[in-house]
């Protein structure tokens, strides 16, 4: 029991240390030739963030071959985490331009502050930095990073063009898998690979992370409707006309004979650029049972993510990954 607690405390210390190193590495990587570019590139990094992807790298790096006392080299773990977080932050610079978002992590978005052109180019700059770092890890990592980038882009394009003739919910879930779960799965895979984990362990961690990544985005989409504390403008998806889990479930069960449902259908089919219309749509959606159904789906998928952990060696790292399944479900930011 005591030994178990000691291992848990040791893991907490390792996670804390690694995350501090990653934070410093992120700021260094964002340093550019000009003070203005440095400021713009550090803008979203310095605004904080959950560092979910670096945390997954660090936790997955605990699954090296049994009996390896040295564990994964800290330098490689930090570099792998740096690559995925820089890629994520770069994608946010681009995403906020596409979503016309004015707030990110409680601060003005880069596009709001410097305009679209600078925001896009700073995203490119950060992605270039990520590419430089991944090259140090080796060709396997470069290939994985390139494939992940391709999935991110395809997910974002699919979201932009919409489902066309496909089933809207299936289309949405594919978008979520590509635009979000892909990089989260790669985070776990990078962590496992730098630790030299066995192939079966790498696969289990990647499957877990692909599912928890989906849960992460589904929960983000529910929060976009329900929370005022995200550091982002609530209802951004609604305003942009992007269908997400709550609105897709609403459309499936909407009762046109109910005045509230029929009004919400009318609002969802209209241009929600007007603040009052958006607030009305958000208000109607928040009290609709589709939000509870969306939360239930988030919980169901979090349980599925947890099931992939069954074949991993027991210990504090596996417990921490299981805890993430709960925190992703209950998060409000
Ligand atoms: C946020 O989704 C956006 C993503 C998860 C992926 C965006 C991907 C790209 C822009 C393509 C890749 C680009 C680079 C440079 C790597 P969201 O808008 O639903 O989330 P939000 O609520 O946080 O804005
Ligand atoms: Mg967005
Ligand atoms: Mg978006």
Domain 199-333 CATH assignment equals 1.10.600.10? yes
Looking at beta carbons, which pairs linking 40-43 to residues 24 or more positions away fall under 8 Å?
40/110, 40/113, 40/114, 40/118, 40/119, 40/122, 41/122, 41/125, 41/126, 43/107, 43/110, 43/113, 43/122
**C-alpha triplet 280, 162, 51: angle, nearest 5°:** 75
Instruction: Tell whether the model's pLDDT for residue 102 goes beyond 70.
Output: yes
Q: Ligand 1 pocket: which of 93, 152, 218, 227 to mutate (most atoms <8 Å of CB)?
A: 152
Interface predicted TM-score (ipTM) of this complex, two decimals: 0.98
Instruction: Tell whether the model's pLDDT for residue 187 goes beyond 80.
Output: yes
Tell me the mean pLDDT in the region 76-81.
98
Q: Whose CA is nearest to atom 14 of ligand 1?
A: 91
Least confident of 3-7, 209-213, 226-230, 237-241: 226-230
Structure tokens at 61: 């790096």
pLDDT digits (tens, 9 = 90+) for 255-295: 999 999 999 999 999 998 899 999 999 999 999 999 999 99
Tell me the mean pLDDT in the region 18-43.
98
pLDDT for 176 equals: 98
Q: Ligand 2 centre and the CA of 194: distance in Å?
A: 31
pLDDT digits (tens, 9 = 90+) for 125-144: 999 999 999 999 999 999 99
Instruction: Tell whether the model's pLDDT for residue 2 goes beyond 80.
Output: no
Closest CA to 225 of 292, 296, 291: 291
pLDDT for 71 equals: 76
Q: Select the more confidently predicted residue: 280 or 332.
A: 280
Distance between CA atoms of 329 and 305, rounded to whole angstroms? Answer: 12
Q: Ligand 2 centre and the CA of 221: distance in Å?
A: 10
Q: Which atom of ligand 1 is nearest to the CA of 87?
A: 16
Instruction: Tell whether the model's pLDDT for residue 306 goes beyond 70.
Output: yes
Q: Ligand 2 centre and the CA of 244: distance in Å?
A: 12
Distance between CA atoms of 260 and 265, rounded to whole angstroms? Answer: 9
Instruction: Tell whether the model's pLDDT for residue 39 goes beyond 80.
Output: yes
Q: Whose CA is nearest to atom 9 of ligand 1?
A: 91
**C-alpha triplet 217, 281, 163: angle, nearest 5°:** 50
Distance between CA atoms of 143 and 135, rounded to whole angstroms? Answer: 10
Which residue ranges does the chain devote to CATH 1.10.600.10? 1-197, 199-333
pLDDT for 330 equals: 84
Percent residues over pLDDT 90 in the chain: 86
1-197 to CATH, choices 1.10.600.10, 2.102.10.10, 1.20.1070.10, 3.30.559.10: 1.10.600.10
Per DSSP, the three-state class of 70 is coil
pLDDT for 68 equals: 72
**What is the number of alpha carbons within 13 Å of residue 200 lying toward its C-beta?**
6
Arithmetic mean of pLDDT over the chain: 94
Question: Residue 103 forms beta bridges with which residues?
Answer: 108
Number of Cβ within 10 Å of residue 169's Cβ equals 16
Tell me the mean pLDDT in the region 80-89.
98
Q: Ligand 2 centre and the CA of 316: distance in Å?
A: 34
Whole-prediction pTM value? 0.95
Q: Whose CA is nearest to atom 7 of ligand 1?
A: 91
Which residues contact ligand 1 via a Cβ below 6 A?
A: 87, 90-91, 94-95, 99, 101, 123, 127, 149, 152-153, 156, 179-180, 220, 224, 232
Q: Which atom of ligand 1 is nearest to the CA of 126?
A: 15
């Amino acid at each position: 029991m005591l030994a178990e607690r000691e291992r848990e405390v040791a893991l907490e210390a390792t996670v804390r240390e690694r995350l501090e190193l990653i934070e410093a590495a992120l700021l260094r990587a964002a340093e550019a030739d000009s003070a203005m570019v440095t400021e713009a590139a550090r803008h979203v990094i310095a605004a904080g963030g959950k560092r979910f992807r670096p945390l997954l790298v660090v936790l997955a790096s605990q699954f090296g071959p049994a009996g390896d006392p040295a564990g994964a080299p800290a330098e490689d773990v930090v570099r792998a985490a740096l690559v995925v977080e820089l890629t994520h932050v770069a994608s946010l610079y681009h995403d906020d331009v596409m979503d016309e978002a004015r707030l990110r992590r409680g601060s003005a978005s880069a596009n709001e502050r410097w305009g679209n052109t600078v925001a896009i180019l700073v995203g490119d700059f950060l992605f270039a930095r990520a590419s430089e770092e991944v090259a140090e890890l080796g060709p396997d990592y470069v290939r994985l990073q390139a494939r992940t980038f391709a999935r991110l882009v395809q997910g974002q394009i699919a979201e932009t063009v919409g489902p066309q003739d496909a089933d809207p919910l299936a289309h949405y879930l594919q978008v979520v898998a590509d635009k979000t779960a892909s990089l989260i799965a790669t985070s776990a895979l990078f962590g496992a690979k730098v630790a030299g984990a066995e192939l079966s362990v790498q696969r289990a961690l990647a499957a877990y992370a692909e599912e928890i990544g989906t849960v992460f985005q589904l929960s983000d989409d529910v929060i976009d409707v329900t929370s005022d504390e995200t550091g982002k403008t609530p209802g951004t998806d609604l305003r942009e006309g992007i269908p997400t889990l709550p609105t897709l479930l609403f459309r499936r069960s909407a009762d046109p004979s109910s005045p509230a449902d029929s009004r919400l259908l009318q609002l969802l089919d209209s241009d929600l650029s007007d603040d009052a219309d958006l607030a009305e749509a958000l208000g109607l959606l928040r009290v609709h049972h589709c939000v509870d159904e969306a939360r239930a789906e988030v919980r169901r998928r979090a349980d599925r993510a947890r099931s992939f952990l069954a074949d991993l060696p027991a210990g504090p790292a596996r417990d921490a990954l299981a805890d993430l399944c709960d925190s992703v479900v209950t998060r409000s930011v």
